[in-house]
Amino acid sequence: MKARLTHVEFPVFSDFIVHIEVTSDFKKSFSKYPLTENIPEEECGSCEAMTAHDDEGSISFLFIKPNASVGTIAHESWHVIKRMLDTRGVDLDNETVAYHLGYLVDKVFQFVRGK
């Protein structure tokens, strides 16, 4: 399958970008970007999804297999949200996390399902 990609920005944290890529070949997708080109495919093994982050906290990559479950999408989205909030110095209170996590999971789920 040819990889499909999109980007998600947050209304409040517009300087943070989530690169979402649906791919059946993690190794090929990793090799396209300087930030992820050295990730060994074995690091993910047979997983359905994987995240990677830059050092500055301005972008997170979310690689997802086409058959990823909603649980996997939520799990990997949590890593992205935690990274975004941590790098911005935002407390991980319930409502802030819930809002941003729900927003990202919804965007990723719609994209993976082709909507």
Encode pLDDT of 62-109 as tens digits.
999 998 999 999 999 999 999 999 999 999 999 999 999 999 999 999
Q: Which residues pair with 9 in a beta bridge?
A: 17
Q: Domain residue spans in the chain?
A: 4-112
Percentage of residues of the chain with pLDDT beyond 90: 71
Find the mean pLDDT for residues 30-48. 83
CB 3 within 8 A of CB 28: yes
DSSP H or E run through 79: helix 70-87
